[in-house]
Each structure stands twice: as C-alpha cells, then as structure tokens.
C-alpha cells in the first residue's frame, strides 16, 4: 500500500478542506425533517465536493476531479469517514454506476450527453431488480420491444434506490425470451420524465422510503439510448455492479471505526460503563471492526495491484454486514428500553447514528441488498473454495433426506 | 398439557387467529373480556377459572402469536394483585375489572419510591394508559402495592413512541401522590411477596408472548420460503435455509417446553424466590430466542421483509421490545448463576 | 405427567437403594485404569441393577424387573442421574437395542434363547454403520448370501460401540442388490465368536476406544438367527433405533443438571467465581439445561400419551447436543490453560466429568453419532416444517449459484 | 504484502508443506535453522533479514499450517531479547542460537517473581524445555529479563501432557535462582519495554499460527466434503455445509487481514503500548477464530474426525491450546475496551 509523500499530502489537504466544509451539525439538521431538507443538504454537499474535485476522483483523467489513483481515492474516502461527512447517497448511482458504465461501455455521444449532466447534479437510479428477480437477475421479465428506432418498455422494477428523485434510470430489460435467460437482456438509459413511467416509493420498516418501485406502461426509449449491443445487457450490467466495489467498503468500515465513540457515550449515558459483560463485548467489537477495516483495505490493495480474485469482494461484504449488525445490536443492549423508543428519524445517515434501533434495521441493507449474505456464501463456497454449484434445475421428488 | 389447557389453547388460537395479525386493540379487548379471559388465573373462590400460570401462559402465547395489541398483560397483573389483597372493596373492584374496566400496569422495572406519605417517580412501559382510569403500582423498594387513579393531579402521562407498533406504551410520572387517597393493596412483608408474585407473572407472560410470536413468525417464514421462487425453485429447497429454520424450530420448542415446565413447577407458589428465579430464566431464554428468531426471519424474507407492508417487521420490533421489558436479561443470568453458586458446596 | 403416589413411592425406594449401592468413588476408581477395571465395574454394577430390577424396567411384564410404566422408568433414570451412578454403557445395546428388537420382531424361540443371556450379562453390539454408509444406512454393502440354511457374510462394519467386548451382534446386511436399496436388507443375530469375525478397536481422539470396526470374512450365520423376513431388515432396524428414544435423553439432560456444581467448583479452584462474564455465561447455561430437561421431559410425556410426532426426538437430540457442547466449552474457559493438560482418562464416564477437554471431545458423540446434527436438521425441516426433501438424485451441472 | 514477504511465504510453504503435517520436531528444527529462519526478524546490523513482525507472522503462519512441532516461537523470542539487549556477550550468544542451540521461553503468562537477588516461581508453557540448555524468563512484575541455565540446581522441569500432541510443553519451577549467576538482559524501564516487545511478538506469533492452522484445516475439510459420498452425492453439494465453509473462509480471511495489517502498523514500534493492544486484539480474534473453525471442521468430518488416525483432531487440539496460550482472551477484550473508553471524550 502506497503511504508515500503524495498520499500524505493529499490526506492533509482533504482533511483541512473537510474541516472547513463539512456542514456543522448536519446530523441534527437531518433528524425529523422532511425529504426536501434532505435533498437540499445532499445537493449542497454534492456541489461542494464536485467543486473541490472530491466527488469524482475515480473518473478518468480529463474529467473534472478525475484521474486519481485508487490509493488517492482511498485517502479521500478515509478522510470523509473520519470527518463524519454526509454520504452522497442521492448521487451515488450517478457518480458510480452510471458514470462507470458510460466510461466503460457507452458511446462518445452518450458520455458527452450524460456525464456533464451528472456533474451538474442530475440524479440517476438503477432499474435492475424485479419482484420475482431479486437475487436472480437472469429471471427478470420487464420487456423492451423494438419498434423502429424506439424500444417500448412494459413491466416493473423494485428496490430502486431514490428513484423518486431520479432524472435518469439505468434500465435492464428483456429483448429476447427465446434463448438462455442471460442472453436476452439489453441495457438502456431511460429519461424518468418519459410518458408511462410511474414511481411508487416503498415505505420501509425504518420509516424511510429510500427505495421505490418503478412501473413502465408503454414507455418509449430511443434506440440511441442503448448501451452496448442488443442482448449484451448482462455484460454491461456487470460493469455497473463492479463500478464501486472496494472503495465503498473502505469508507463504510472506516465509518464504523470512527463511530465507536458513540457506543462509549451511550454507555456513559446509561451508566453501564463498568459493566464487564458489555465491556468485553465492546472490546470484541472493536477488534472485529479492525478486522473489517483490514479486510477492506487488503481488498483495495489487491485491486490496485490488479490481483483481485473472484469472491474477494464477497468476503469483505459478508464480514462487514455481520460486524455492522453486531455494532447496532450492542448499541441496543446498551440503550436498553430507551433504544426501543423512536429517538428521531435521521435522513440519509445510514449507519451508526446512535439511534440504535434505526441503525439495527438499516444494517439489513447490507445483509440483503447488493447480493444477500446467502448469495455471497454461495459465491465464496463455489468460486473460492471450489465446491459444487447448486444444480441448474431441480426436480422435487421424494427421497430419504 | 392437561385437556383443560389444550382446550383453552385451541379456542384461543381460533379466536385470535380469526381476528388476524395485530388486530384492532379495542375490538380484541372487548372480545377477550367477553370470553372471560381475565378470569383465567383468578381463584375459583372468586369465581375464576383457577388455571394459574399455565393458563395465563397459554393465553399470552396465543396473544403473542397474533401480535395482539390488547393490554391483557397489564390488566391481568392488576386483577391478580386485587385478588391477592384483602382490602374491603375487593369484590367491587374485581367485578369492574372483569367487566372490562382497564386497570393498567407497567411491563418494565419500577422507578417509584415512597417519600413520607407520598409516591414519586417514573413508571415506564405502562400499557394503554390512555384507556385506563387506574394503574397498579409497586415501589422499587418493595414497600408497597397500590392502585392509583390516573386522572388525579400530580400524574403526567406521556405516550412513548415505541418502534413496536403492536402495543402502546406510556410513561407515567408520579409527582407527590398522596398515599392516603389511593387504594393500598399490600404493605411491608406482604407487599414484598405480592410484588415478587407480580414480577413472576409479568416475566412468564413476556416469555409466553415470545414463544407464541416466534412460532408465528417462523411459520410465516416457512410459508414465504415455500412460495418464493428464485433460481427456478422455491427458496425452501435450499438446504442452508432449511437448516436455519430447523435450528429455529428447535429453539422455539425448547423455549416452549421450558415455559410450561417452569410454569407448572411454580404454579403452587408463584410468590416464592424459586418462582422468581425460574421466571427470570424463562423470560431471558424466551425473549432472547424470539429476538434471534425474528432477526433471522427478516433476513430470510429478503427485501420484502424490509417493506412496511409486510408484517415481518412487526414481529421483529415486538421481539426486540420484549427483550427490554420485564427483568433485564443480564440480571436474569447473573441471578441464576448466583443461586446455583450459593447452593453449591 | 404422572406425579402421583406410586411414582413418589418408587422414587423414594430407588433413591434409598442408590444411596446404599452406587459404588463410592467409582469415578476416581475409573480414572487412569485399563479396560479390565472398567469391564469389572460395569459387570458389578449391571448385576446389582439387574437384581434390583432397575436394569430392565422397560421389558414387558413377566420378565425380571419388567412391566414398568414409562413414567416409572423415567423416575428410575432421573434418580440414576441424580445419584451420579455409572451408566451401563457396556450393556446398553443388549438391554435396549437387542431386547426391544427381540420383543418386537423376534420369534419366541429367539427371545427364549437370548434374553436370559442378556440378563446373565451377555454383551451385545450393533453392526449397522459402514465406512461408506454413516448417515446413509440405505447405502450399506455388507453382503449376506444365502447358502441352504446359512447366510455367508462378507464385508465391514464401523463405529460399533464396544464391539470388542461383545458376545453377539445385531447385524444389518444386504441380501439383495437388485431393487431399491432399503428393500434388500436383512436383519441377523451374529455370534461374535463365529469364525471369520475380527474386531479392530478404533483409537479415538479422546484416547478411548469405545468404538470398533468389525470385519466379516465368510462368516456363517444360521438362518434361524434372522429377525423378520429376508428383505425386512430396514423395518426391523427402525425398531432397534426407536428402542431407547426418550429415556436416554431424560437421563442425559438430568445428568447435565446434576453436573453443574462441577463447573462452580472449577470456578472456585481457578479463582474466577466473581468474573461477571463467566457468571453470565454460567447463568445462561443453567437456563439452557433447564430447557433441555424440559424438552426431554415433554418428549417422554408425549410418548406416554401416545402423541409422539416425527421430528420430536430430533429436536431434543439437537438441543441436547448443543447444550452439552456449551457445557464443556464453558468448563474449558474456566479451566484455562490447565484444561489443556491431560487430567486423567476416565473410562465410561462419558459426559461432564470435570475433565473438560475430554468432555468437550466426547460431546461430539452426540452431535455426530446416532444421526448427526445435520441429519436431525433435515428431519426437522422436512418432516416437521414440511419443507421439500433433498432431491433423490442430483446432477452436477454448471449454473448460476 | 511486499514481494519479499511473498517470496518468504512461498518458500516456507514449500518447505513445511513438503515435510507433511506435524513433521518430526528435530528434523523441522534443523531445517529451519539451516534455512536461516531464526534470522527473519533480526536487525540487519546483526546480520539478520530485518523482516520484523510481518516476516515472523509469515513463518509462524506456515508453521501453524503444517502443525509444526519445532519450538520456533520460543526460540525467536529469545533471539529477539538477545538482539535488543546491550550485554557484552551478545554476539557470542546470538551466533550459538542462530546455529541452532535452542534457548527456549514460555508461551504463557509469567509466574516469576524477584525476591531479593533471587528468582522464584513457576513458568508454564515452556516449549521443548528438554532440548534447551537455557531459557528466557521475564518477571510478572516487569522488573527483569534474563537468560537462565536449565541445568543448574533449583530448576525443576516437568513435562506437561497437553492434549495437543503437536507441541511439547513443560513447566519450569524456579527455586531461589541466584540472579548473580544468570545473564541479565534488561532491568527497570528497559525491562518493561522489552517485555512488552516480547509479549507483542508472542501474541502475534500465536495469532499467525492460528491463521495458518485454520486455513489448513478448512482446506482439508473442503477436500473431505468433496470426496466423501453420502446419499449418492459428495457432501460438498449440500448447501448448508457449503455455507458453513464459506463463513469459515470469511472469518479466516478477516483474521489474516487483521494480522498483517496490525503487524505492518506496529512493526516500527513493537514495544509500544499501542502495539501491545493491537497484538492482544489480533491474538484473541485469531485464536478464537481458529478454535471455532476447528470445532466446526471436526463436526463436518463426521465419525472419521473422531478417529485418531485422521489428523483433524490435531488441529482442534492445537487450536484449543492456542486459545489458552499468550494473553488471555478476556484480558485482551477488556483491555481493548479500556483503551477505547479512555480515548473517548
């Protein structure tokens, strides 16, 4: 891992900038407020980061802020975590999924059209999952029928993060049902203001509604909005999914570490700072977090060295999800009965807010979404340990266990 | 389980199951009053069913299974306290309570103290306090059990916004409440034993609620896995999910066996120190089990479990709240160890 | 559960008898001794119990000690546990598996021939498992070929408890390979002194050798030693396996409870009786043991009421195995480094001896043997929860996870 | 990992792997002496490889993978203590040690005290004491580090019959050993920091041993599951077994990442209090992980895992012993919590 002069200088620079620019008290300002306040904060923070060049360090050279090495990006993310800066949740799909897909698979024309828009604050969402294709993307059924220079879309997407705010959508749809399921998918860019698009936010068990369903009723998309060839959607989607691997986990694991003092303060508030059982579990959590940070760091180091292997990301995500759950669980134990009272709803704060029950429920985002723990275990067992895959098709027949 | 208890369980399951999950609070309350469920543990001498702790556990378990909103637990504590007390007006109070006038109580630890001839302090976890005219209170120091009117000066009732939406809890603040004007149920040594009896019932009830809730969410989860198709097969075909369900089934059965075994063993002396230890052990085992089961079931539901429209989260939130009501889990385990150690040469 | 006068009277009677008859200091006498001493103790204790009628309460009326109700049997087992009496490991197969199989499926002639021998101390072993048929009995391959009035046996058995001491063996062998695997099995009674039988004890990781392999080289068994018809072996074996269900678990769970003081004494020896973390875990173990006892008790109550359901026994065994492991693990934590020193080898003591590492390893007997935890989970999931069985046959094909 | 460390790892894996599991102690010892592995953390100035903690972790991890019997851990502690000390005879001692004369040390907590000019007390967990002429000791109170001859009067060496058969531990009793006749390596403040440095190395070494051992037993278990046929298919096809292997893989990877991350972070100040905390955390995480992995692997082996002829149990026993060597797990977690709390306003 490069910890040389360049990195140290950048670290100092980012740290100083954050000290001056992270909106003071943003957590309190985001507690028990409506969506508008949240969107306004995200926009303000996005613009600041874009201007400073810290929102797009992963973009190629030539683009604003772009051309940074992975190790420089890591420094930026670590410092964002350290400074407890807001996460750019509203712009995440735009900055990572959309941008990286366009850089990797888009045409020059598409890049020109959309990337500038992203820098100007256009919000994107991802339309991959469907009600019957959650973990199993190959089963998706939203249809895209070619009519001349347009595709006509009918169907439904679900679990689309912040779709209700989105200007554009990364849409994976089926253009062919005749061959193998993965071969019939096509990747399209959809203007969310198109006729026939409707969005219904999903009320979550946290009280939030950061996910939404999207319904398509004869929605038209021009053929030039296709990314890659017709039927190449599966491959393009892989580029989308790989776009932020690693860095996000570095940031999130570091955020856990910097959030540990919240547990300690809770212990003091609850007068249980001398409880040996709680202290033992706290000590054990600290080490688990160190391990999660080390795993994420090692993973990024491997990526920098071009030595990433299939399954590496699954290990990090699985371990992170487990540790995050432990974090929130310990918080609840410390908080006692009080942890079961609504202590305010903090928008966009995601993890380790100190509202332990909220944090606990949010931790399921990491064990279910983006490939559930179960899917990650399959990948690790099959692709790292070389154990047999689950059979492709499977007859339900009676037989001894 | 006796034939009697079995019949009670069957009829309760029919009633609660018929009303659907997390049914309307006041409708459930009226129904259970009508069915005479408040009499389940009342002694025969007072025209009750005299089914003691085992009977109460049956009903609490079914109410947990249905995520019932009715303040049955609080009400039965008050009913039992009145039955146990020798005060003159007892029958009159009992008649009103059995007829459906709610006297509520706290499901949490007491924060009440006597100060001269007055009561002070916070009572947390009071069920449906806005529907009750009176509340049963006991002091943290075990000196006193009383019924106090909730509409008198010096009482502040605050609704607590719990994550669990299936029950409504309040905190009640007592500001120098004059003892002379309240109904005293027990004082001194008899208060100590009555309070122990109440805590035993409370902990058993929470344990029973947990057992019923866990069985219910597991059944729902198995149904989900049987019907949800991924990778062209029902999720229930995946062995790792099957095995997790099997482990949950085993721990639910263990909690249920423990619950009824302990309830049977202490039913004749529910105010004894031994009953208290058994209740604490059962409560901590069952509520911890329910919380872990509900956590796992949410995971097994996948994305849909995160949506408010699906009832999965109602179980999780009730389970996590149960863990923090009644005797604290760490106190339960420490006390259990203490008793074992004290009894070992 | 019957707790009436009869039971209470029996309990008092058994308790008094045990007080006078359990060999004082038998645990110390069995520590660091050879097999002979162990066999001698077992024989002595067996004879005492037979004479008192406490070895065969589960036998039918008319047989010595027999005709007791299940609730009476439960009282006897509870009192044996309470008195910390030696378990009759050497005679277990004879008293339960062999006797119950003969009562249920044997001919009058077979019963006459063998049961008296059992009461006189003949040792039996079970020959079911094979190297490639552990959890999967239907796959067993030891052959029994009919030649006139004899079967000729060739093959191998494994994990046969105390086969090296056995006079007879309950043998399950294949007489037919043409049909469905379970249909070709036949159940035979084998005299272990027959020509061609050889026994090799298996050295276990505990230092014990209570299991053995049995090899058959053209061993002859007279046809009259067959139990049930040729090809009915599977059904007869079920009777064998069901023979002691319930009572053993009542006894074992009770033994855990009565062994708890050993943990407390260890804590005092190690000076950690005030360690809050250990105390918390001890308290939690106590409750788990209460739950295990309650489960076993409930199970037996169901059997008495004729209300047993498939899977009930699996739940009890799974929970017992888990709790037993916790017991020994806590013992090791309390014992610290000392728990990792050989503290003596106690023959026939099975569980909770206070030699924590020995106990820990012995606890695998309950999670692996007699249907592993994994098999129990299958049974619970499939037969109690109604989830699909594992497919009968399964092609290894590539496919998404 | 640097290219250098990678190369060290590859060559060590070849050597240890080639010798087979739990290879002969003295053959392994001779081989590692010959390969210069005792020099791995010795400073360049003393003709060492100067690869510090990360280099040591590589080798310990490979030795754990192979269930090595050689007293390498004890030996490197003694070598390091000599390197760090300024005593006149240093180079001479170092030459003898590097050439293969074993100076052993304890892998457990020290029970040694100074009493006037004498040393007293028990030293537990001394590796291969019967092959050594000297032993490194430090006092429990951190006053002193010394080399003492094992063949002098007042020394009682007792072999401890550990369940782990892959290493040989002894306890050494010191009865009024005259300090004047021993080689004193450090006293006072410099002893305190040297002892901290030794404990850090010991804990890292045990953690590395655990990481290597766990990776090895998991690989063996996956092989077993791939080849063992039950119900007409390899056990490796059963998803619940696959998922348990996946969970183990994740926790082994986490321990390994933690190990090398922590070793790298403290390599320049391995005698600092921060190094001590990191070493304790890493040790408790890794040895707990190894014990849980080995426990699960034995279960996954089924009956054959219970037979002494299969090496599965060797890993389990080494894993459980490792948990009880070095800093005690409960002390590690309590100390980690203490430091966090002290640093939190």
Q: DSSP readout, A202-258? A: EPBTTS---EEEEEEEEEEEEGGGEESSTT-HHHHHHHHHHTTTTHHHHHHHHHHHH
- Show which of residues 159-198 on chain D sit within 8 Å of chain C, judged by CB atoms: 160-164
Rounded CA separation B208/D94 (Å) = 69
Answer yes or no: is pLDDT of A242 > 90.
no
- Taking the C-alpha atoms of A65, A66, A71 and A74 in order, what is their torsion angle to the nearest 10 degrees? 60
Q: Which ranges of B267-306 does DSSP label H, i.e. alpha helix?
A: 273-301
Q: How far apart are CA D32 and CA B306, in angstroms?
A: 56
Q: How confident is the model at residue A5 (pLDDT cuts 50, 70, 90)?
A: low
Split into its structural domains, chain D has a count of 1
pLDDT value at residue D343: 96
Q: Is the dihedral of CA D93, D94, D100, D106 positive or negative?
A: positive
| Cβ contacts of A192 within 8 Å, gap of 6 or more | A125, A163, A166, A167, A168, A169, A199
D240 touching chain B per CB within 8 A? yes
Distance CA B172, CA B169 (A): 10
Quote the minimal CA–CA distance from D45 to chain C in Å. Answer: 38
- Residue D120: in which H helix or E strand, if any? strand D118-127
**Can you give the pLDDT at residue A1?**
39
| pLDDT of the residue at D202 | 98
Q: Are C18 and C49 in contact (CB under 8 A)?
A: no
- pLDDT, tens digit (0-9, with 9 covering 90-100), for B299-323: 999 999 999 999 999 999 999 999 9
Cβ atoms within 10 Å, residue A99: 25
Query: What are the helix and strand counts (H, E) for chain C?
Result: 14, 8
Establish, for the pair of chains A and B, how many residue pairs have beta carbons separated by less than 8 Å.
91
Rank A338-352, C60-74, D280-294 by mean pLDDT and report only the highest: D280-294
User: Strand, helix or coil at C85?
Assistant: coil
Q: Do A401 and C394 touch (CB under 8 A)?
A: no
Judged by a CB distance cut-off of 8 A, whether residue D242 touches chain B is yes
Express each pLDDT in C290-334 by its tens digit: 999 999 999 999 988 889 999 999 999 999 999 999 999 999 999
Q: Please give the pLDDT value at position B99.
A: 96
* C136 in contact with A, Cβ within 8 Å: yes
Q: What percent of chain B has pLDDT over 90?
A: 96
Q: In this structure, how many other beta carbons lie within 10 angstroms of the beta carbon of residue B261?
A: 22
User: Residue-wise over A376-399: b if at least 16 C-beta within 10 A, else e?
Assistant: bbbbbbbebbebbbbbeebeeeee
Assign C2 a pLDDT band (cuts: 50, 70, 90): very low
Report pLDDT digits (tens) over D252-300. 999 999 999 999 999 999 999 999 999 999 999 999 999 999 999 999 9
Range list of H helices, D66-187: 72-84, 90-98
Q: Contact, B173 vs B137, CB < 8 A?
A: no
Angstrom CA distances, B319 to B12, B64, B203, B209, B290, stand at 21, 10, 14, 9, 6
What pLDDT is stored for residue A278 in this prediction?
97
Predicted confidence (pLDDT) at residue A121 exceeds the cutoff of 60: yes
Is D239 touching C (CB cutoff 8 A)? no
CA distances from D128 to A10, C274, D41, D207 (A): 51, 35, 21, 20
Residues D126/D137, Cβ–Cβ less than 8 Å = no
Higher pLDDT, A348 or C191: C191
For C124-233, the fitting CATH number among 3.40.30.10, 4.10.640.10, 2.40.110.10, 1.10.10.10 is 2.40.110.10
Determine the number of helices (DSSP H) and then strands (DSSP E) in chain B: 10, 10
Cross-strand pairs, B86? none
Between residues C207 and B150, which one has the greater pLDDT?
Answer: B150
Q: ipTM surpassing 0.90, yes or no?
A: yes
Alpha helices in C147-271 (DSSP H): 233-241, 247-270
SS3 C304: helix
Average confidence score pLDDT of chain B: 96
The CATH number for B235's domain is 1.20.140.10
Q: Is the pLDDT of residue A266 over 60?
A: yes
* Residue D327 CB partners (closer than 8 Å, separation 6+): D109, D199, D203, D279, D280, D283, D284
pTM assigned to the model: 0.96
- Chain D CB contacts of A333 under 8 Å are none
First-to-final CA distance of chain D: 36
Instruction: Answer whether residue D275 is part of any domain.
Output: yes
C245-384 CATH pick, 1.20.140.10, 1.10.3720.10, 1.20.1250.20, 3.40.50.150: 1.20.140.10
What average pLDDT does range C379-384 have in this prediction? Answer: 97
Decide: helix, strand or coil at residue A358: helix
C139 vs B300, more confident: B300
**Cβ–Cβ of A337/B306 closer than 8 Å?**
no
Question: Among candidates C197, C249, C247, which has minimal Cα distance to C221?
Answer: C197
Kindly list the domain boundaries of chain C, sorted by start residue: 4-88, 124-233, 245-384
- C244 classed as catalytic: yes
Three-class secondary structure of residue D99 per DSSP = coil
Given a cut of 50, whether residue A401 has pLDDT beyond it is no
Q: Which of C344, D322, C337 is nearest to D314 (CA)?
A: D322
Query: Which residues does A110 contact at the CB level (< 8 Å), separation at least 6?
Result: A102, A189, A224, A225, A227
Q: Which neighbouring-strand residues pair with C155?
A: C216
Taking residues C131-160, report their average pLDDT: 91
Q: What is the DSSP letter of C180?
A: -
Asked whether residue C348 carries a pLDDT value surpassing 80, the answer given is: no
Give the residue-averaged pLDDT of A30-45.
Answer: 89
Top pLDDT among B238 and D230 is at B238
Residue B213 within a domain: yes
3-state secondary structure (DSSP) of residue A39: helix
Say which of A79, A210, A244, A352 is annotated catalytic.
A244
Q: Do B308 and A394 touch (CB under 8 A)?
A: no
Run of H or E including A197: strand A197-202
Spatial distance between the Cα atoms of A285 and A276, rounded to a whole number of angstroms: 14
pLDDT of residue A400: 41
User: Nearest C-alpha of chain C: how many angstroms from B25?
Assistant: 31
Q: Return the sign of the alpha-carbon dihedral for residues D19, D20, D21, D23.
A: negative
Residues of C in contact with D320 (CB under 8 A): 332, 340, 357, 360
Mean pLDDT score across all residues of chain C: 91
The CA-based angle B258-B261-B265, given to 5 degrees, is 135
Spans in chain D with pLDDT lower than 50 = none
Q: Comparing C-alpha atoms, which of D276, D251, D253, D250 is closest to residue D265?
A: D276
Beta bridge partners of residue B104, listed in sequence order: B135
- Partners of B241 on chain A (C-beta within 8 Å) are 374
What is the arithmetic mean of pLDDT over C63-67? 91
Q: What pLDDT does C3 receive?
A: 45
Per-residue pLDDT, averaged over A106-125, amounts to 96
Residue D273's alpha-carbon distances to B200, C363, D195, in angstroms, are 49, 40, 11
**Cα gap B321→B168, rounded to integer Å:** 11
Among C244, C269, C308, C374, the active-site one is C244
User: Which structural domain range is residue B247 located in?
Assistant: 190-343
pLDDT score, position C398: 43
β-bridge pairing D134-138 and D103-104 = parallel
CB contact under 8 A, B313 and A361: yes
Q: Considering only CA atoms, which of B159, B246, B143 is closest in space to residue B195? A: B143
Mean pLDDT of B100-114: 96
Q: Which residues of D touch B242 (CB under 8 A)?
A: 240
The residue among B231, B234, B238, B240 with the most chain D CBs within 10 A of its CB, best to mutate, is B240
User: Cβ contact (<8 Å) for A291 and D247?
Assistant: no
* Interatomic CA distance for residues A240 and B164, integer angstroms: 38
The secondary structure element, H or E, covering residue D258 is helix D239-266
Residue of B nearest to A133 (CA): B230
Percent of chain A with pLDDT over 70: 96
Chain C residues whose C-beta is within 8 A of a chain D C-beta are 129, 132, 134-136, 139, 158-159, 202-205, 211, 275, 277, 332, 336-337, 339-342, 357, 360-361, 364-365, 367-369, 372-374, 377, 390, 393-394, 396
Q: Computed from CA positions of residues D321, D327, D330, D336, in that sequence, does the dihedral angle turn out positive or negative?
A: negative
CA torsion, points D199, D202, D203, D208, in degrees to nearest 10? Answer: 160
B229 touches C at CB < 8 Å: no
Contact A401 D282 (CB under 8 A): no
Question: Average pLDDT over chain A, rounded to whole?
Answer: 91
Of C276, C318, C387, the CB nearest to B242: C387
Strands (E), C74-184: 124-127, 143-147, 150-161, 168-174
Residues pairing with A102 in the sheet:
none
Q: Which letter does DSSP use for residue B1 in this model?
A: -
Q: Quote the distance between the C-alpha of residue A54 and its chain's center.
A: 18
């Amino acid at each position: 891992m490069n910890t040389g002069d360049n990195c140290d200088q950048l670290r100092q620079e980012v740290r100083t900038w954050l000290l001056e620019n992270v909106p003071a008290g943003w957590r309190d300002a985001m507690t028990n407020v409506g969506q508008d306040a949240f969107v306004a904060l995200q926009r303000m923070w996005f613009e600041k980061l874009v201007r400073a060049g810290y929102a797009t360090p992963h973009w190629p050279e030539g683009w604003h802020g772009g051309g940074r090495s992975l190790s420089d990006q890591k420094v930026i993310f670590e410092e964002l975590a350290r400074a407890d800066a807001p996460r750019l949740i509203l712009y995440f799909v735009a900055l990572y999924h959309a941008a990286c897909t366009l850089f990797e698979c888009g045409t020059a024309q598409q890049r020109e059209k959309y990337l500038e828009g992203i820098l100007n604050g256009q919000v994107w969402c991802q339309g991959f999952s469907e009600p019957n294709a959650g973990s199993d993307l190959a089963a998706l059924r939203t249809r895209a029928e070619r009519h001349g220079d347009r595709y006509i879309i009918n169907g439904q997407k679900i679990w689309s993060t912040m779709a209700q705010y989105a200007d554009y959508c990364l849409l994976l749809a089926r253009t062919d049902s005749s061959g193998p399921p993965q071969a019939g998918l096509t990747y399209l860019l959809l203007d969310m203001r198109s006729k026939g698009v409707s969005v219904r936010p999903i009320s979550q068990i946290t009280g939030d509604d950061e996910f939404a369903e999207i319904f398509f009723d004869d929605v038209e998309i021009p053929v030039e909005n296709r990314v890659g060839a017709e039927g190449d959607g599966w491959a393009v989607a892989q580029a989308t999914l790989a776009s932020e691997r690693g860095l996000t986990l570095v940031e999130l694991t570091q955020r856990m570490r910097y959030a540990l003092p919240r547990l300690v303060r809770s212990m003091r508030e609850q007068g249980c700072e001398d409880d040996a059982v709680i202290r033992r579990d706290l000590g054990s959590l600290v080490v688990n977090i160190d391990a999660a940070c080390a795993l994420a760091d090692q993973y990024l180091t491997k990526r920098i060295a071009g030595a990433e292997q299939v399954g590496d990301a699954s290990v990090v995500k699985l371990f992170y999800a487990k540790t995050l759950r432990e974090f929130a669980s310990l918080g609840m134990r410390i908080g006692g009965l009080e942890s079961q009272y609504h202590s305010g709803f903090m928008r966009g704060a995601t993890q380790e807010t100190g509202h332990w029950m909220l944090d606990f429920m949010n931790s399921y985002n990491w064990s279910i979404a983006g490939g559930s723990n179960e899917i990650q275990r399959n990948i690790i067992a099959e692709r790292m340990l070389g154990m047999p895959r689950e059979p492709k098709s499977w007859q339900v027949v009676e037989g001894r266990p | 389980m006796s034939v009697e208890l079995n019949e009670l369980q069957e009829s309760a399951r029919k009633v609660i199951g018929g009303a659907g999950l997390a049914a309307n609070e006041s409708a459930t309350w009226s129904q259970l009053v009508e069915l005479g469920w408040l009499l389940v543990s009342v002694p025969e001498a007072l025209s009750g069913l005299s089914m003691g702790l085992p009977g109460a556990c049956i009903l609490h378990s079914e109410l947990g299974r249905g995520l019932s909103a009715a303040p049955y637990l609080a009400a039965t504590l008050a009913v039992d306290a009145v039955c146990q007390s020798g005060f003159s007006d007892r029958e009159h109070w009992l008649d009103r309570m059995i007829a459906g006038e709610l006297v509520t109580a706290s499901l949490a630890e007491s924060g009440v103290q006597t100060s001269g001839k007055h009561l002070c302090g916070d009572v947390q976890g009071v069920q449906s306090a806005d529907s009750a005219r009176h509340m049963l209170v006991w002091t943290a120091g075990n000196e006193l059990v009383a019924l106090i009117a909730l509409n008198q000066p010096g009482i502040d009732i605050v609704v607590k916004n719990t994550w669990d939406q299936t029950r409504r809890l309040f905190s009640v603040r007592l500001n120098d409440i004059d003892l002379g004007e309240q109904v005293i149920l027990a004082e001194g040594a008899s208060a100590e034993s009555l309070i122990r009896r109440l805590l035993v019932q409370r902990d058993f009830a929470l344990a029973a609620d947990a057992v019923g809730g866990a069985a219910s969410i597991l059944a729902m989860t198995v149904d989900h896995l049987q019907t949800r198709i991924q990778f062209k097969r029902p999720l229930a075909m995946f062995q790792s999910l099957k095995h997790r369900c099997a482990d949950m089934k085993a721990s639910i059965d263990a909690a249920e066996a423990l619950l009824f075994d302990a309830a049977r063993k202490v039913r004749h002396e529910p105010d004894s120190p031994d009953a208290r230890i058994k209740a604490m052990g059962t409560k901590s085992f069952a509520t911890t089990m329910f919380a872990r089961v509900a956590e796992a079931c949410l995971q097994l539901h996948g994305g849909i479990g995160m949506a408010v429209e699906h009832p999965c989260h109602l179980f999780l939130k009730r389970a996590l709240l149960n863990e923090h009501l009644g005797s604290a889990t760490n106190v339960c385990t420490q006390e259990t160890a203490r008793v074992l150690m004290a009894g070992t040469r």
